[in-house]
Amino acid sequence: MSDFGLIGMASIIVAGLTIGIGSIGPALGQGRALAQALQAIAQQPDEANTITRTLFVGLAMVESTAIYCFVVTLILIFANPFWAAVQS
Amino acid sequence: MTLSPDDVALFALGPWTVTATLAYSWVVMALLVVASALVTRSLTTAGGDLGRGQNVLEALVAFLLDQIREITNQDPEPYLPFVGTLFLFIVTSNVLSVVPGFEPPTGSLATAAALALCVFVAVPAFGIRKLGLRAYLGNYLRPTPFLLPFTIIGELSRTLALAVRLFGNIMSGSVIAVILLSVAPLLFPVVMQAFGLLIGVIQAYIFAVLAIVYIASGTEAQERTARARKEEAGS
């Protein structure tokens, strides 16, 4: 198989693996955080504002790992440096 | 399919190419300035009849002041211009993405990185203005000087995360819209667009809140150390 096809194949397979495996952790973590926050709001409805704000900030923090995976996937598919080197 | 508005060249201005990112940033800036100028030209303190624009702006400023005060436990006034500008710019450009033909400038890594760099510079700027250069730099050596490299790496990586988070969320919104248009062009993209609006507003809020949190963490820690030093000197 040519270098071109090999790089394309490897990129696509690894891109799928990256986003697939990389989303597991953040998804579980976000689900846990959300469940805890809902429980906290149910127990203390008066504090809903503070809890919601903290929840959003926390979710954003957790989410960033998933976004790193997403960016790596996009780089592999759309801006692959090795592919560009072979093409030129 | 274009991945970033940086790749879309709209027109040439002399030797420079004006990309969609740049042009639409100007559009957002012009919109904000003109709208604010129109509203603030006829401000009134007469009770009862405030007018729509003034109501919106007052609610917005009060909301921002409240949020900043709750997070920092300080007087919110010095932070309002910086954080409010970030929030307004990001929220306007994200919400305008439902307008056909408009590419949100925040969906470009260049814009997101520029905004994150503003926060990166603002944290020490606010810290130094609050407590002076010595106390701020001394803060890096606490609790031990061995942690200095990790503190610096932490500051850099949180700036990177701030930029990539905004860019990733907004860009994925427009990419998903394009993909859905080719798969299920009827009705379904509208739902995702509505969802994208929600994401856009939440991301703007998160960006602003994180900026305040970083600024507050800088200034508060210094306040504590300065107070401790003063007490030591006094005792």
Evaluate whether B126 touches B139 at the Cβ level (below 8 Å): no
Determine the pLDDT at residue B90.
Answer: 95
CB count, 10 Å around CB of B8? 14
B11: which 2 tokens? Answer: 């027109």
Interchain contact, A74 vs B164, CB within 8 Å: no
How confident is the model at residue A29, as a pLDDT? 94
ipTM value, please give it. Answer: 0.72
Residue spans per domain, chain A: 3-80
Q: How high is the mean pLDDT in each 10-residue block of chain B (235 residues)?
A: 72 81 91 91 75 87 91 88 94 89 87 94 91 83 84 88 88 81 83 86 91 86 60 64
* Alpha helix positions (H), chain B: 20-41, 52-72, 80-95, 109-131, 133-140, 148-183, 188-234
**What letter would DSSP give residue B17?**
E
Q: What is the pLDDT of residue B235?
A: 55
Of B165, B167, B205, the CB nearest to A63: B165
Task: Confirm or reject CATH 1.20.20.10 for domain A3-80, answering yes or no.
Answer: yes
- Residue position matching structure tokens 């994925």: B172
Of the CA atoms within 13 Å of residue B122, those in its CB half-sphere come to 24
Q: What is the pLDDT of residues A17-61, one digit of tens each?
A: 999 999 999 999 999 999 999 999 999 999 888 898 888 888 888
Say if the Cβ atoms of B165 and A79 lie within 8 Å.
no
Note whether A56 contacts B168, CB cutoff 8 Å: no
| Residue B117 in tokens | 């760099």
Give the phi and the psi of residue B94 in degrees, each rounded to 5. Answer: -70, -45
Q: Which residues pair with B12 in a beta bridge?
A: B17
Q: How far apart are CA B205 and CA B49, in angstroms?
A: 30
Structural tokens at position B214: 């970083």
List chain B residues with CB under 8 Å of A71.
164, 167-168
For A2, the 3-state DSSP assignment is: coil
Closest chain B C-alpha to A28 CA, distance in angstroms = 19
User: Residue A84: its pLDDT value, please?
Assistant: 77
Task: Judge whether B97 and B196 are in contact, CB under 8 Å.
Answer: yes
What does the domain layout of chain B look like in residue ranges?
5-234
Mutation site for B-interface testing, chosen from A49, A52, A53, A55 by largest number of B Cβ within 10 Å = A53
Q: State the pLDDT at residue B226.
A: 58
Other beta carbons within 10 angstroms of residue B87's beta carbon come to 22
State the count of interchain CB pairs (< 8 A) between A and B: 33
Partners of B203 on chain A (C-beta within 8 Å) are 60
Segment holding B195, helix H or strand E: helix B188-234
| Omega prior to B143 cis, within 30 of 0 | yes
CA distances from B78 to B66, B67, B128, B142 (A): 13, 14, 13, 26
Helix-helix angle A48-78:B188-234, to 10 degrees:
120
